[in-house]
């Protein structure tokens, strides 16, 4: 995995290494140590700079930088003949290395400081021509004091760096997972794999997936129920239209019967021939009555088919609190009444609710259907 903070740290330390070489030449101008600046400073900085540009994410690059910055600090100490103030550069550069978020780089740099101080202390003590401390400060106590502070800072920075890496690594994984989920414009892909280390985020995405799956399932069920209700409504409309036609036929037959009866009554006393004709008309009227009776029977059968089994339509039961109930349509197949037949604690108690409604609805036409969804008491069949 490519860590963006390493690229940023490489840019910072590219500038730091160049600056340290510049400082080496600046010190050389005062202490006449040009040869050291050229022979040690330039090669020491060149190697990590080359690795930064050729292998920016490699661990060896970070370790090379960690060693090089302390070797260049050692060069500055040597050029200033062990000046104590130059030692502050050691601690400053240890803090800079936190930018890499690599605790091993901190330990490598701290080890480099320790090796430099111990070896140069021994060499200076034996007059080898190298310097670690100023004249008069070359004591074992000073060495231990420097070692203590270097190790203490290195240890604390290593712990901070380790925690910083864990947080940054988790943040990077989370950012990459979100980018994968939103990779396609306008689409949220929750099926993208999530790193196992992102436990809480994985649980969150799993919960969202479950909720969405349940929502889709409920939506399908609602669509199916709505379709079934629509089909039943169509059937009711068809039956209602058929019933209306049959009722019209019955009314026409009754009217014909009435006309025939009037004709029979008017001509009954005129003549026997007219009496015979009246008898024939009466016979015809009887047949019409039989036909009307058959049509009424057909209407009754048609109306019986219009009943609904409310247990199949749970969505309607919220409107009808108990059964049996009555559903009425007018001659234009419009719904006019849904509710119980009567109210009371016994089926014979009180006046029929449907009778009261029929009486009151004569004066309130045009107000739409009446739905009794909260009536209490006994619901009796008609």
- Residue 78 sits in the same domain as residue 107: yes
Please check whether residue 131 is in contact with residue 77, taking contact to mean a CB–CB distance below 8 angstroms: yes
- List phi, psi (to 5°) of 233: -65, -40
Helices (H) and strands (E) in the chain, counts: 11, 3
Q: Of 305, 337, 353, which residue sits at a domain end?
A: 305
Q: What is the pTM for the complete model shown? A: 0.53
Higher pLDDT, 195 or 231: 231
- Residue 332 sits in the same domain as residue 275: no
Please check whether residue 174 is in contact with residue 180, taking contact to mean a CB–CB distance below 8 angstroms: no
127 pLDDT more than 80: yes
For residue 376, is it within any domain?
A: no
How many residues are given for the chain?
Answer: 382
What is the three-class DSSP state of 144? helix
- Residue 148 sits in the same domain as residue 43: yes
- List phi, psi (to 5°) of 126: -105, 20
Cβ neighbourhood burial of 148 (10 Å; 0-12, 13-18, 19+): exposed
14 pLDDT more than 90: yes
DSSP 8-class letter at 331: T
Q: In what order do the strands lie in the sheet with 335-339?
A: 326-329, 335-339, 370-371
- Residue 300 sits in the same domain as residue 341: no
For residue 242, is it within any domain?
A: yes
- Residue 297 sits in the same domain as residue 334: no
pLDDT at 238: 80
For residue 377, is it within any domain?
A: no
Range of the domain at 208: 200-305
Which helix (H) or strand (E) element contains residue 371? strand 370-371
For residue 247, is it within any domain?
A: yes
277 pLDDT more than 70: no
- Residue 234 sits in the same domain as residue 343: no
What is the number of domains present in the chain? Answer: 3
pLDDT at 381: 46
DSSP 8-class letter at 187: -
Q: Report residue 22 as tokens.
A: 């510049």
Distance, first Cα to last Cα, the chain: 79
Residues 136-167: tens digit of each pLDDT: 888 898 999 888 999 999 999 999 999 988 88
% of the chain residues with pLDDT over 70? 59
- Residue 93 sits in the same domain as residue 229: no
For residue 189, is it within any domain?
A: no
Q: Of 264, 282, 305, which residue sits at a domain end?
A: 305
Higher pLDDT, 257 or 47: 47
For residue 188, is it within any domain?
A: no
Angle at 353 between CA 352 and CA 358, to 5 degrees: 100
Predicted confidence band at 296 (pLDDT cuts at 50, 70, 90)? very low
């Amino acid at each position: 995995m490519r860590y963006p903070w390493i690229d940023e740290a490489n840019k910072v330390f590219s500038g730091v290494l160049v600056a340290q070489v510049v400082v080496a030449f600046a010190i050389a101008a005062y202490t006449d140590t040009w040869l050291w600046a050229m022979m040690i400073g330039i090669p020491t900085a060149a190697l990590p700079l080359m690795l930064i540009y050729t292998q920016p994410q490699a661990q060896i690059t970070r370790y090379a930088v960690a060693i090089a910055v302390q070797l260049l600090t050692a060069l500055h100490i040597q050029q200033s003949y062990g000046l104590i103030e130059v030692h502050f550069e050691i601690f400053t550069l240890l803090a800079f290395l936190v930018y890499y978020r690599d605790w091993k780089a901190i330990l490598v740099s701290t080890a480099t400081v320790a090796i430099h101080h111990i070896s140069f202390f021994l060499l200076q003590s034996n007059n080898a021509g190298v310097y670690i401390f100023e004249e008069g400060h070359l004591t074992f106590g000073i060495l231990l004091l420097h070692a203590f502070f270097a190790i203490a800072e290195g240890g604390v920075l290593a712990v901070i760096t380790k925690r910083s890496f864990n947080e940054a690594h988790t943040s990077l994984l989370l950012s990459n997972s979100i980018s994968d989920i939103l990779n396609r414009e306008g689409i949220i892909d929750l099926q993208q794999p999530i790193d196992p280390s992102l436990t809480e985020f994985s649980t969150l995405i799993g919960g969202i997936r479950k909720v969405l799956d349940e929502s889709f399932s409920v939506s399908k069920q609602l669509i199916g129920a709505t379709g079934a209700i629509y089909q039943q409504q169509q059937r009711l409309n068809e039956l209602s239209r058929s019933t209306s036609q049959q009722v019209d036929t019955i009314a026409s037959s009754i009217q014909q019967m009435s006309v025939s009866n009037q004709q029979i009554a008017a001509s009954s006393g005129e003549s026997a021939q007219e009496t015979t004709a009246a008898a024939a008309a009466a016979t015809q009227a009887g047949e019409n009555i039989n036909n009307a009776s058959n049509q009424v029977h057909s209407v009754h059968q048609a109306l019986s088919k219009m009943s609904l089994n409310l247990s199949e339509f749970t969505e309607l039961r919220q409107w009808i609190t108990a059964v049996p109930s009555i559903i009425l349509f007018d001659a234009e197949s419009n719904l006019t009444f849904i509710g119980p037949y009567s109210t009371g604690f016994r089926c014979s108690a009180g006046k029929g609710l449907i009778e009261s409604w029929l009486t009151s609805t004569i004066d309130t036409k045009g107000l739409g259907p009446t739905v009794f969804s909260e009536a209490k008491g006994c619901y009796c069949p008609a």
